[in-house]
Amino acid sequence: MLYSKKIIHHFLNPKFFGKIKNAEAIGQAGNIRCGDLMKLYLKIDKKSQRIKDVKFETTGCAAAIASSDMICQIIKGKTLKEALNVRFEDIVKKLGKMPPIKVHCSVLATEALKKAADNYLAKKK
């Protein structure tokens, strides 16, 4: 089996798939070579600065969709600063067995998060 049961589950049943209207932050990352494109939407509580809602729209392979769903699961409820400490290795570890050639999908998820954070901070200035 190329993918872990957890990757297959997140691919077939993504909990965080969708778009947030009036999101405070949006980040996008993609890989032209493989065709993966991830868009991450954040709703941030102004008082606590915690991520109160997070959604994604991803086109790509099973690993790309599973990585997008997993980063959402990991960062929901965290502050933006805490969320930015999530590394692609954390996503891979939580998802389980992933072909080495697909690890870049978890890197894209962290890049989309970083771009969303940059987008949020730019709006606050």
Taking a C-beta distance cutoff of 8 angstroms, is the pair 104, 91 a contact? no
**Catalytic-residue membership of 34:** yes
- Which residue of the set 8, 34, 37, 103 is catalytic? 34
Of 25, 42, 64, 105, which residue is the catalytic one?
Answer: 105
Using the Cα atoms of residue 112, residue 114, residue 115 and residue 121 in order, give the sign of their dihedral: positive
Please confirm, yes or no, whether 61 is among the known catalytic residues: no
Position 113: which residue type? L
* Catalytic (active-site) positions: 34, 105
